[in-house]
Amino acid sequence: MKKLRSLWLLLIVPVVVGVVIDRFTKIDLIGAVWVGLRWVGHLFVVSFTLPVWGIILLMLVLPAILALLEFVLARRQPDESYEDYTSDTFFGISWHWRYCRGRLVDDVTARCPRCSGLLDSHEWGYSLTLTCDHCGFEKSFNNMDSLTLRERVRKEIDRKLVTGEYKSVVRRDDPA
């Protein structure tokens, strides 16, 4: 109820003050506001003359400047996007991942560093072994399970993205 009362005061007080000023002063308030608005409007409308040779010069120079600008921008090499960073080697294992809508997808895949085959994980208690069925590669981790290893890899990916170290990996993998 108190808020409603203060809202009414905010609406009524300016109207009452405006009526009082209009009644007791000889100033045409509406006319003064109109003159002020017209003055502000004229600030945006500026008339000037330009010689014919200036128009011709603009018609010749402007397209040349635009063509030069387009040429320079086309020759610039784009920066490496972080979304090009989709694989790296951590802990002696080749890891691959992808992005969806700019975010890292949680399925980080372990691949063999020798033949790029998918690695199988075997856990015995707190011991983890990643093996490749294709070439027989094997890597063991003590005191670590599969979830912990993948979380450490995600953290390392994030660290490289934040520090910009991923750019050297992207350039190294670039075939050009």
Residues 121-155 have pLDDT tens digits of 998 888 889 999 999 999 998 888 888 889 999 99
Residues 50-63 as b/e (b if ≥16 CB within 10 A, e otherwise) read: eeeeeeeeeeeeee
- Helix or strand run (H / E) with residue 149: helix 146-163
Model pTM? Answer: 0.52
Q: Using the structure block, give the residue that is written with the tokens 């009362």.
A: 5
* Tens digit of each residue's pLDDT (9 = 90 or more) over 80-97: 677 888 889 999 999 998
Q: What is the DSSP string of 15-82?
A: HHHHHHHHHHS---HHHHHHHHHHHHHHHT-------HHHHHHHHHHHHHHHHHHHHHHHHSPPPPPG
